[in-house]
Amino acid sequence: MAYNRNRRGPDPAGAFLVLEGVVAVIGFECTLVLPPTTVWPGHLALPDDLVADLGLGDTLLSAGARTTPWTPSPRDIEVATALVTAQLLRVGPLEQRLARLAALCDVHAQGTETSAHLLGTTRESLSKFLNQRRHAAD
């Protein structure tokens, strides 16, 4: 593999449209992946809890990636919020992911396997985590 320099992308505070390639929006705890046609509305347009969990720092462009400044519509902000939420359900500490999922749906009204798939883990790992939490509360 050849050594290639990183290509910095647009400031994550500003809004942009991904025209080609993939943009990595880098945070302290995770990195978001923005495919082509995704509008990044700028972190100030996102809900405060998402921004706090992301701790945004920078963006990097994949090879051949292109972006353009954009004025996001209300729908663009809704879609970006959904994309960020979906990605945050699958990264980070399991406790945080489970809390985020519980804010979206009743995790006790569905099978552990369903919750595990939504959280990007296995049923066994989630069951073990829930059991440890129950025993710690006793």
Each residue's pLDDT expressed in tens, for the chain with a length of 138 residues: 677 889 999 999 999 999 999 999 999 878 999 999 999 999 999 999 999 888 888 999 999 999 999 999 999 999 999 999 999 999 989 999 999 999 999 999 999 999 999 999 999 999 999 999 888 887
DSSP 45: G
Q: What is the pLDDT of residue 1?
A: 61
How many Å apart are CA 16 and CA 99, to the nearest integer? Answer: 30
Query: In this structure, what is the dihedral angle of CA atoms 124, 127, 133, 138, given to the nearest 10 degrees?
Result: -120
DSSP 123: H
pTM of the full structure: 0.88
The stretches of the chain forming alpha helices (DSSP H) are 48-54, 74-88, 94-104, 112-119, 123-137
